[in-house]
Structure 1
Amino acid sequence: MMMGKVPSFSPGSTVSSALPGYVTLCLTLQVHRLVSAQFKVTGPDRLIITSLGGEAVLPCHLSPRMSAENMEVRWFRSWCSPVVHLYCDGQDQYGEQMLEYRGRTELLKENINNGSVFLRIRDIRPSDDGQYTCFFQSSVSYEAALLELQVAGQ
């Protein structure tokens, strides 16, 4: 039995330094392959008002109605921040969740087969005030909606 030499790559080698660029290119091509507007995402047409210490329920819906059970549903505050809540691969994912939302969020999925989800945020804090984005992504399309939460009594 002949043993082949296993190549080793040092941090400065051409192959390893080209790898991040290759991965970035693959991710870019994957995202560009997705097409926006296969469906629309809608939130409420009004401001959601809640009180300190209470809870808020943020609604989000797909139009036309379709199952979102196998989609990624991501709630976040800004594009560059970790998530407020993430549902992916048929279950809630907490690894990327912002620390300040740990243990306070729940995705209500009773109507997920009809394209409706609701994010419940418990123990409302002053920092919860502001915009939220509800983002749906299927294997071929993605779309998002903005929602505004106002915390009263600050």
Structure 2
Amino acid sequence: MSVLGKIIFYSMIALIITFLAIIILFLSFAFSSLSAVLSSNTAPIANLGQDTLLSCYLLTQTVTKVSVTWEKKGLSGVVYKYNNGAASLQDQSSQFKGRTQLFSEALATGNASLLLRNVKQSDEGEYTCSISSTKSGGTVNIHLRTAAFTAPTFTLSNSVLTAHASRWFPKPNVTWLNLDEEVLRGNTTFSASPNKIYSVTSTLPVNITDTYICRIENNLVSSVSTATVTGSAVSEDSYFTFSAASSLLVSVHLSITTTGVLCIYNLT
């Protein structure tokens, strides 16, 4: 074999080996990622005073001898710990006593999501979920943000439409629009509770047969409500959107007809 032929031959061998190494590395990464600890939402926004679920799970079908630790940055003591088939809460922070729960049935499939009850402003911060099992393990960080938000209810009196929302934090802005998205002149007042939760009341002079949009929003949450005035009745449809920092965008829809006491709630 000529010198040139040997150079070409060994160059091809080197290329093949490099290519195989890249494939092996890619497959190794792909299969290892199947057992990584993940979250469906690493930046959730929880409604103050309500329960929220912090997502954390392994991408496996079944797990055995699983242990889970939830911790919060800057906090002394754990948020929740599960080991040897049971909760292990001797070192749990007093901030979370009686307010946290895992689901044993879900743990068998690698789901270690944490239920946090009665969310408080002090719960805001960075959490770490750590899972280990006989098959795999790892950690994921979740940044919980807190807010207060409610959809407004509408009343009509003397051709004035009033929107009232009982709980907002941080303090929101209110904008009225028509269906052409032209800004209308409304009047908004706020009242704050001792813990700075705001009650919002906003009024707008209206025609008795028309549709209006009321948008209540702060830097975390936006509530968009469509109110249709028909005679003395108001029908409404509202939904929430959350700031783009949330990795899982969720909308909550509800429809209310205020001719009587009829409320229909739809969660999507």
Q: Which has the higher contact order (CA 8 A, sep 6+)?
A: 1
1:124–1:105 CA distance, 2 compared to 1 (3 A): same
Matched residue, 2:99: 104
1:150–1:122 CA distance, 2 compared to 1 (3 A): same
SS of the residue 1:74 aligns to: strand
How far, CA to CA, are the matches of 1:119 and 1:50 in structure 2? 13
Q: Larger Rg: 1 or 2?
A: 2
> Does residue 129 of structure 2 align to residue 134 of structure 1?
yes
User: So what's the TM-score if we normalise by structure 2?
Assistant: 0.40
Matched residue, 1:49: 45
Q: CA RMSD in A?
A: 2.4
SS of the residue 1:66 aligns to: coil
1:107–1:80 CA distance, 2 compared to 1 (3 A): same
The answer to whether the 8 A contact 1:37-1:141 is kept is: no
Matched residue, 2:54: 58
Matched residue, 1:40: 36
Structure 2: which 5+ runs fail to align? 1-31, 149-168, 170-268
Deviation at 1:131, TM superposition (A): 1.2
How far, CA to CA, are the matches of 2:95 and 2:75 in structure 1? 16
1:57–1:137 CA distance, 2 compared to 1 (3 A): same
Deviations along 1:54-78, one digit per CA (max 9) or x if unpaired, are: 11111111123331x5221000013
The answer to whether the 8 A contact 2:58-2:137 is kept is: no
Q: How many matched pairs? A: 118
Deviation at 1:46, TM superposition (A): 4.6
SS of the residue 2:76 aligns to: coil
Matched residue, 1:145: 140
Structure 1: which 5+ runs fail to align? 1-35
The answer to whether the 8 A contact 1:38-1:142 is kept is: no
Matched residue, 1:89: 84
